[in-house]
Amino acid sequence: MSSPTFHLAIALDGAGWHPAAWREPGSRREELFSPGYWVDLVQEAERGLIDFVTIEDTLGLQSADPFVPDTRTDEVRGRLDALLIASRVAPVTERIGLVPTVTVTHTEPFHVSKAVATLDHVSEGRGGWQVKVSGRSDEAQHFGRRELVGFEAGLADPAVQTQVVELCDEAAEAVEVARRLWDSWEPDAEIRDAATDRFIDAEKVHRIEFEGRFFSVRGPAITPRPPQGQPVVAALAHAEVPYRLAARSADVVFVTPHGLDDARGILAQVAAAVDAERRDPGRERLLVFADLLVFVDTAAESGAARLQRLDGLGRALSSDAAVVTGSAASLAEQLAELASLGFDGVRLRPGVLADDLPAIVDGIVPELQRRGLFRTRYEAATLRGQLGLSEEVADRYAKAVLR
């Protein structure tokens, strides 16, 4: 009997995805900026055999409006660096994938490539990267290198639309630079032979000589080839332009369907984006994960009641992803429906991490296992292997020579 191929990811953010989650007694709000808090979350997800966790991050403070800053003081504000959290968590976990969010706007792909490669080394092949763009003008001001139109005019504004295309084109180029840098060291470039006085073989370390519209990077990387060769690249997408970014650059795309009809339409749009970008037929298929924000029933309170109660404490929850409540069995049934449509997996956003993460691990996961949709053990040592991606990634520079 073949192993299940449906995948589960967990999106970690603060105390949870509801803006009032930090108010809950079990939220550990005093520990949100401590390493132990994040270690415990990821170890709990690993107990549930989750494929990978993503860790949210931005270049600006959280806001009730995703496009402009606010002045609220009744919600969590401030973050630790997601990639550094992942690197801290890596040595105390064993099999779960670690996919921090790293913004490519205002950052340099050389630095990002080096940091993600380091995460892959520290985790022994479980590293990944969720690519994010930044169109907020206040975030641009933190760096002072360029001005952005900002989203205040609305997404329908032609100048905003042009900027979105530019940012996604820049992001695609940043990913391409990172991928080439990961390839710039062949797997056996390190000799470490004291007898011959050679630590590396210079003929197996390659300049990438990348010249693009946004970046000019000579290379090579200064970090040896990552254990996976190519760490997993993911992206969140809601519309045609970011779908095409994912089709060009990512291994995994997160989408946000609202209902089954919408889910079918999104799968068709992603397929159209893959065709439009002429994704190399020899390249592996883009994996599509549906995002759902979940409030799972517990013995103490139903998910719907918890959502309603939290909405009454401050700002009501608003989300780009569908918000679903119910028993573990009913939510597992919704996931099974998405699997039947052809989704490769689901990324769950726990409304309150203290309540919903254990409910996912102890409730939804066993329900999926009973349906034969989810594994009963980890079956691969690397994140690529766990997702069914090739673990033998060719090095594009293997025949070139550094001079």
pLDDT in tens, 282-336: 578 999 999 999 999 999 999 999 999 999 998 999 999 999 999 999 999 999 9
Tell me the mean pLDDT in the region 91-95: 98
Query: Is pLDDT at 1 greater than 50 in this prediction?
Result: no
How many angstroms separate the Cα of 17 from the Cα of each of 47, 93, 326, 351? 21, 24, 17, 5
Residue 72, C-beta contacts closer than 8 angstroms, at least 6 positions apart = 63, 64, 315
Report the C-alpha gap between 308 and 315 in whole angstroms.
11
Tell me the mean pLDDT in the region 168-185: 96
- Residue 151's pLDDT band, with cuts at 50, 70 and 90, is confident
- Residue 403's pLDDT band, with cuts at 50, 70 and 90, is very low
CA 373 to chain centre: 22
Report the C-alpha gap between 121 and 226 in whole angstroms.
6
Give pLDDT, residue 400: 52
Query: Is 101 assigned to a binding site?
Result: yes
Comparison of pLDDT for 191 and 101, the residue scoring more: 101
**pLDDT tens digits along 250-297:** 999 999 999 999 999 999 999 999 999 887 665 789 999 999 999 999
Ordered by where they begin, the domains of the chain are: 7-386 (3.20.20.30)
Beta bridge partners of 214: none
CB 94 within 8 A of CB 49: no
Query: Is 54 assigned to a binding site?
Result: no
| Alpha carbons within 13 A on the beta-carbon side of 43 | 11
pTM of the model: 0.95
Average pLDDT over the chain, rounded to an integer: 94
Report the C-alpha gap between 235 and 238 in whole angstroms.
10
Q: What is the enclosing helix (H) or strand (E) of 264?
A: helix 260-276
Q: Percentage of the chain surpassing pLDDT 70?
A: 98
